[in-house]
Amino acid sequence: MGLSDPNFDVSATVYNDIRPPYLSEQVDFVIERTGLTPDDVVADIGAGTGKLSRMFTPNESGKTSCKQVICVEPSNQDGGMVDECHKNMAPYATAATVVTGEATATGLADKSVKLIVIGDAAHWFQPAEPVCKEFKRILKEDGKMAVFVRFPDPKAEIVQDLHKALKENCKTYRSTANKLVNDIDIVAKKSGEHLLEPELTTSSQSYLKATWTKEELLRYLQSRSSTNSWALEKENEALIYEKVIDPLFEKHARNTDKISIPHISLVTIGKVRKYEPLKSAERRDRDQKNAGEGIL
């Protein structure tokens, strides 16, 4: 993607209003495991509206988890992610900075960051090699990365019902190969497996509920990344209500005007993966193989 993706900008208010907050116990887990101190700088890459960044700033009681949080976000159209992030981070004054940048070009100084955090965004950081190089450049020697991801629990009946109804009735859902997030490759990408050094990671899994009215569920479904990768923005709203939302509420709302969608919340901590330059023998073997296949 380019520096600004309008599809994320139009979803900025949904990210603010509808998507559930990150779990404070998982933020505490990261602070403790990475040994973050009040002198450290945290960078939230793909910060969006600052939902995760906020949780690393000094809180109202004066407890300080770090010195400063820098929010790096590429989607900077008017009223989009960067604007929302500025608004949300303003109360933290000098403890928070918002910059326009992306994973391969953060604009941050060499060795200036102790902890990189990523919230529901790691799967966008492809190909991994230039991203890891940039992360290594900005991280201190002992710097770490923490990747947060939340997704509807594929084992929950309500999530399976939602998925089935969307698949059967919504063309845009089918045409973007949406799958339930139970595919091992999808979970691995969302958890940043391509960015983390294998076998040096530690993770924590928890559960949270997103409780929504019909209108909130519609907005969530219309926003990017609601299920796996795409939004129902071009789908007829009346059809989504009739075929998807109303039947879901009829079955699961149990006489209230809200439903709860169970989500899995995962955080993985580790070192940034090291991409070694190819040694000359490996390069020669690769070139010979490619020549044989005519792909030079």
Ligand X SMILES: C[S@@+](CC[C@H](N)C(=O)[O-])C[C@H]1O[C@@H](n2cnc3c(N)ncnc32)[C@H](O)[C@@H]1O
> One symbol per residue from 175 to 214: x for binding ligand X (CB under 6 A), - otherwise; what is it?
----------------------------------------
| Residue 84 touches ligand X, criterion: CB under 6 A | no
Strands 96-100 and 68-73: parallel
Q: Is the CB of residue 48 less than 8 Å from the CB of residue 81? A: yes
Q: Which is nearer to ligand X, 249 or 267 (CB)?
A: 267
Minimum CB separation of residue 139 from ligand X in Å reads: 16
- How distant, in Å, are the alpha carbons of 105, 202, 243, 251, 262 from that of 157? 41, 29, 17, 11, 10
Minimum CB separation of residue 115 from ligand X in Å reads: 15
Minimum CB separation of residue 225 from ligand X in Å reads: 4
Name the burial class of residue 257, with classes exposed (0-12), middle (13-18) and buried (19+) by CB atoms within 10 angstroms of its CB: exposed
| Residue 235 touches ligand X, criterion: CB under 6 A | no
Comparing every residue's Cβ against ligand X, the nearest one is 48
Which tokens belong to 101?
Answer: 């940048």
Query: Which stretch of DSSP H or E encloses residue 262?
Result: strand 259-270
Which tokens belong to 104?
Answer: 């391969």
Q: Which is nearer to ligand X, 76 or 249 (CB)?
A: 76
Identified binder of ligand X from the candidate list 42, 66, 69, 103, rule CB under 6 A: 103
Q: Which is nearer to ligand X, 2 or 62 (CB)?
A: 2
CA dihedral 92, 84, 119, 160 (to 10 degrees): 140
Q: Is the CB of residue 5 less than 8 Å from the CB of residue 33? A: no
Identified binder of ligand X from the candidate list 34, 66, 73, 226, rule CB under 6 A: 73
Identified binder of ligand X from the candidate list 40, 83, 84, 120, rule CB under 6 A: 120
CA distance 178 to 176: 5
> One symbol per residue from 36 to 65: x for binding ligand X (CB under 6 A), - otherwise; what is it?
---------xxxxx-xx-------------
| Residue 227 touches ligand X, criterion: CB under 6 A | no
In DSSP terms, 259 is beta-bridged to 212
* Interacting residue ranges for ligand X, rule: CB under 6 A: 1, 5, 8, 15, 45-49, 51-52, 73-75, 81, 102-103, 119-121, 124-125, 225
